[in-house]
Structure 1
Amino acid sequence: MKAFYEFGNDKFSQRKARILMSKTQEISRLCCSFLILILAYLTPLSTFAQDEGGQKKEENVKKAKVVTDPAIASVQAFIKKNVADKKINKEVAGWKSRLPKFPTTKFTEGTTYIWNLATNKGDVKVQFMPSVAPNHVANFIYLTELGFFDDLKFHRVITGFMAQGGCPQGSGRGNPGYRFDGEYAADVKHTTNGLLSMANAGPGTDGSQFFLTFVPTPWLDGKHTIFGKMISGESTLKALEASGSRGGRPSEELKINKATITVVAAKKTTKVPKVGQQ
């Protein structure tokens, strides 16, 4: 660059120097402007917003605060540890029948846990009852987080009774690799349809098989653990029943495509008195 600025002392040379310096400054301004345009062009469009006056302004992008429920977090930590220890290995055939037992889980009071079942007949949402059957709710959260129920069938559907699923073998004889005792509450009974209850082969044999009731089934009280109540999916329940039979063999494949958990955090609310109560 030095060579461009060496001129003689005569007037002609000095004039040439002034002209060249002027041109150089103009070129510098043009280069700066061009550079600014290039930088603006390369800036992702998602970082700008258009206001009413047509002026662009930078958006304040805030990361959403992720709130993890302690019960879900403890189950996920248990799964992670057992995967690391090779006690849970989804690469092995029949892994759904070789699982360690679910961890003891403490649930947050007032928090709602919803079991979402996406079936080939529609969706069903069931609200768990951790205050009634904490072990059964912990068990199903654990199995759901593992993807255990995905692609399993409703292998037994009896018209006018219930739809049963959750068998890893699809035969009604399988279990997840462990069994445990039932949990019963005197004030929670099989009084309506849409109840989520545990299938078993007698005391101490609860595992992964469950059923959804089509009608009240009082003869099952004290023998099968109720741990959830359907909150939506009435049409799906009817569709499942329509494909059942008196003997229990479905007329077509009834499958759980995917099961997931939704957690609704507890909120401090003011109790609203019922009509007539002030």
Structure 2
Amino acid sequence: MSKNRKPEVDAAIKDVDYNKNSYQIELRTNHGAILLDLLPEVAPGHCSNLIGLARIGYYDGVMFHRVINGFMIQGGCPLGTGTGGPGYTIKAEFNATPHVAGVLSMARTNDPNSGGSQFFICLGTHAYLDRQYTAFGRTADAASLEVVRKIGNLPTNSSDKPLQAATIEKATVIARPKA
């Protein structure tokens, strides 16, 4: 099992305050920037987890290891295989957010409470995922969704791994005071 990064994540999110700030994550990839609006009103634990992992540099240099055109792009595995994680899991926060193009959701195994660091961004509408996977963000603008689609159109091998690298060069947390 991977080293447990939970203590680092917990330390990195001590100042997170959803009442005072709205939060975004910018994933700077080798295909362009993806700006994500987080949805703490429906999944605060997942949002805090992503913020913490981003702040400790967990996603820097990690690839989108699974790409299925028309379905989703998946990243967040430090091994690039879909088998790695942060050494801990978080509880599911199923909610009514529909899985439509641009929605950020937590990847998991058959166990609903097995999410950790791997996430996916939808390329289309997938209602069968609703209330089965934790949606906790969405692309903030058309340019970000276009980058997601660009990665989603990459040719892949038989294991859905892109033949051309799709790498998160840097994940940055943006906190903006609420008006």
Q: TM-score, normalised by structure 2?
A: 0.88
Q: 2:127 aligns with which of 212, 218, 224?
A: 218
Does residue 1:252 correspond to 2:164, yes or no? yes
Deviation for aligned residue 1:203: 1.7
Q: Identify if the C-alpha distance between structure 1 residues 127 and 144 changes in structure 2 by more than 3 Å, giving closer, same or farther.
A: same
Large movers: runs of 4+ above 3 Å: 101-106, 244-247
For these two proteins, the number of residue pairs brought into alignment is 171
Find the aligned partners of 1:97 and 1:161 in 2 and give their Cα distance. Answer: 31
Instruction: Look at both structures and tell me which one has the larger radius of gyration over its CA atoms.
Output: 1
Say if 1:158 and 1:246, in contact at 8 Å, map to a contact too. Answer: no
Q: CA RMSD in A?
A: 2.0
Deviation for aligned residue 1:97: 3.6
Q: Percent identity?
A: 33
Find the aligned partners of 1:231 and 1:171 in 2 and give their Cα distance. Answer: 28
Does residue 1:206 correspond to 2:118, yes or no? no
Matches within 5 A, 1:16-55: none
- 1:134 aligns with 44
SS at match of 2:147: helix
Matches within 5 A, 1:89-108: 97-100=3-6, 102-103=9-10, 107-108=17-18
Find the aligned partners of 1:244 and 1:174 in 2 and give their Cα distance. Answer: 23
* Cα shift readout 1:98-149 (whole Å, capped 9, x = no counterpart): 3125438663326210110100000010000111101001101110110000
- 1:193 aligns with 101
Q: 1:234 aligns with which of 126, 145, 157?
A: 145
Find the aligned partners of 1:122 and 1:163 in 2 and give their Cα distance. Answer: 14
- 1:262 aligns with 174
Question: Larger % of strand: which?
Answer: 2
Question: Larger % of helix: which?
Answer: 1
Which structure has the higher relative contact order (CA within 8 Å, separation 6+)? 2
Say if 1:107 and 1:130, in contact at 8 Å, map to a contact too. Answer: no
What is the identity, as a one-letter code, of the residue corresponding to 1:193?
A
